[in-house]
Amino acid sequence: MIIKKINIGNDTVNVQITKEEALKSLMNGEEVIFTDETEKTEIYQLLEDLKDDDTKFNKYEEPKKVKSKTSRLSAVLPFLDSKDASLLFRKAIEVDLNINPATIAPFIDETVLTILVDEYLSGKHQGLDVDSLYTFLSSKDVKRLFEYYLNQ
């Protein structure tokens, strides 16, 4: 279990967080409490790998960075539950994680993709490459996107 202290008013509350949230908190310099040493080692290894990738990225080796993140991510995705995969998918879209959302799409619930299409049609995420997600969308969502493109 991973715990993070959160201040609510004058009280400090311990809240359980996911691995992804722990990684983000550590990247932001926030304190995280681990109850499992294996989980702690795994998160700190991911953090170190991300730092190594950022160093490589700063030396203009972007393709190598994307490949290494994607290959590590591909190894972990089948073992995530759909809730965690969906959370990672949303973060890949909303925050620039340099991860192609299509890599995560096979592991998420179809309703998450429908919500994404709704947001895209309402003007959000216009920089997103929706074409790469067609194979994972329902026929209804593909039809909605097609009509949207026709009306533009």
What is the value of pTM for the model shown? 0.51
**What residue ranges of the chain have pLDDT lower than 70?**
52-71, 96-97
Q: What is the pLDDT of residue 71?
A: 63
Q: How many CB atoms lie within 10 A of CB 81?
A: 9
Q: What is the pLDDT of residue 68?
A: 54
Q: Which residue in the block uniquely carries the two structure tokens 């290894």?
A: 45
Q: What is the pLDDT of residue 118?
A: 92
CA proximity to 50, closest of 17, 99, 90, 4: 99
Q: What is the pLDDT of residue 114?
A: 92
CA 146 to each of CA 118, 141, 142, 143: distance values in angstroms, whole numbers, following the listed order:
13, 9, 6, 5
Query: How many separate helices (H) and strands (E) can be counted in the chain?
Result: 7, 3
